Amino acid sequence: MELELSVALGCFQLRRLPYRKNDLLRAWDAADEYLLNHLATIPIADHANVVILNDSFGALAVALNRYRPTAISDSWLSQQATRNNLAMNGIADDQVRLLDSLALPDAGIDYLLIKVPKTLALLEYQLHRLKPLLNANCQVIAAGMVKTLPPTAWKLLERLIGPTRPSLAVKKARLIFVSVDQSLRLPENPYPQRYRLENSDFQVCNHANVFSRDSLDIGTRFLLQHLPENPEYRDFIDLGCGNGIVGVMLAQQNPQARLYFVDESFMAMASARENFAGAFADNRQAEFVVGDCLSDFPANSADCIVCNPPFHQQHTIGDHIAWQMFQQAYNVVRKGGELRVIGNRHLNYHLALKKLFGACRQVAANPKFVIFSCIKA
């Protein structure tokens, strides 16, 4: 695995999160290199207000630490990787100010550096929020790999910030330079979005980076039809909770249950909090944990874990997150407790689950999804 990022601003050691043995993926891409090398040609003042959006694992923040940038991300893993990479390079934590995706940086932004995210709704939300904070001569630069830079990203930048000018492609990466047009009038920010849950009067809140923002996705709809039913279960975990609807329904079906919502997305957790409060007001309590899967949970502390694992991390597709969830769930669930998992048929989750639990029962299936139940012996 390549660990050293070498750019005009210096050489830096960087690692991804979560750590994986024999990981072949770098903690940066050619778009990071392109942007950093371009910035090395610009005389940035030491006191400039530099804001970074969606830095994957801290490559931009670490390399630009001398400017004490503000880095905004919706990913807890991204923030923790940034902290780890700062430490690995002997850089003090306070050289970079880390904000979650719902927080705002200081006004008077001189440089807005954007890694274009996989979810363009997140970019739209960010541009709405940050446009009023930009200085008139702010340099706005978006970066991404050519294959992941759709025309809609350019249109968003032009509609909400100002005219764009593309760079030449280098190593299949491109920069987009955006001029701030202060005469542009921002439309109303469309996020968070809300919709009525099917067959109910309940309004679901979805922040911009939450999957399936404007309706109940078909996987969750299928899972809700096949939730665990065991009156002896008390401690439930909605793992990778997204907007928390699965946990909310578990709480409704199990009035005595304790609910834990877990996700690494700050926007997912904000959505889950609002949806739980909307369902129960102050009549029920739950815990909301932003972090790396079940890393913060002690062994044998849950009766039932329900999970719809992601099969991608940012633009990278793989099953490593699901495998981590399954391994940790085996440790966290009590003897006789259950892990219930939904996944696309082609992912063959049952193979990994049988290795861990020894037995894996198919609860339900349709042409697209399969639901499995694993009981810890």
Q: What is the DSSP string of 320-345?
A: HHHHHHHHHHHHHEEEEEEEEEEEEG
Give the distance, in angstroms, between the CA of residue 281 and the centroid of all CA atoms in the same chain: 27
CATH number of residue 68's parent domain: 3.40.50.150
Mean pLDDT of the chain: 93
Q: Residue 27: inside a domain, yes or no? A: yes
151 and 254 in one domain?
A: no
Q: Residue 184: inside a domain, yes or no? A: no
172 and 52 in one domain?
A: yes
Residue 192: DSSP 8-state: S
Domain boundary among 178, 205, 230: 178
291 and 212 in one domain?
A: yes
Give the distance, in angstroms, between the CA of residue 197 and the centroid of all CA atoms in the same chain: 23
| pTM check: above 0.85 | yes
Give the distance, in angstroms, between the CA of residue 132 and the centroid of all CA atoms in the same chain: 25
Number of domains comprising the chain = 2
Name the residue among 199, 196, 249, 200 with its Cα closest to residue 220: 249
Task: Compute the distance between CA of residue 168 and CA of residue 175 in angstroms, rounded to an integer.
Answer: 8
In 3-state terms, what secondary structure has residue 116?
coil
208 and 353 in one domain?
A: yes
160 and 11 in one domain?
A: yes
Helix axes 120-130, 151-160, angle to 10 degrees: 10
Helix axes 266-280, 245-253, angle to 10 degrees: 30
Q: How does pLDDT run across 144-181, given as a tens digit for each residue?
A: 999 999 999 999 999 999 999 999 999 999 999 999 99
156 and 42 in one domain?
A: yes
365 and 273 in one domain?
A: yes
Q: Length of the chain in residues, anyone?
A: 377
In 3-state terms, what secondary structure has residue 125?
helix
Domain boundary among 147, 178, 209: 178
150 and 294 in one domain?
A: no
Q: Are 5 and 11 in contact (CB under 8 A)?
A: yes
Domain boundary among 143, 178, 213: 178
200 and 167 in one domain?
A: no
Q: Residue 188: inside a domain, yes or no? A: no
Give the distance, in angstroms, between the CA of residue 267 and the centroid of all CA atoms in the same chain: 8
Written in H, E and C, the secondary structure of 221-263 is: HHHHCCCCCCCCCCEEEEECCCCCHHHHHHHHHCCCCEEEEEE
Q: Residue 187: inside a domain, yes or no? A: no
pLDDT of residue 319: 67
Place of tokens 């739209």: 124
In 3-state terms, what secondary structure has residue 214?
coil
146 and 252 in one domain?
A: no
Lowest model confidence (mean pLDDT) among 133-142, 177-186, 308-317:
308-317
Lowest model confidence (mean pLDDT) among 105-114, 297-306, 309-318, 351-360:
309-318
197 and 156 in one domain?
A: no
163 and 209 in one domain?
A: no
Domain with 76, as residue range(s), is 4-178
Q: Residue 16: inside a domain, yes or no? A: yes
Residues 85, 91, 96, CA angle at the centre, nearest 5°?
80
Q: Is the pLDDT of residue 318 over 50?
A: no
What does residue 290 show for φ and ψ, rounded to 5 degrees?
A: -95, 120
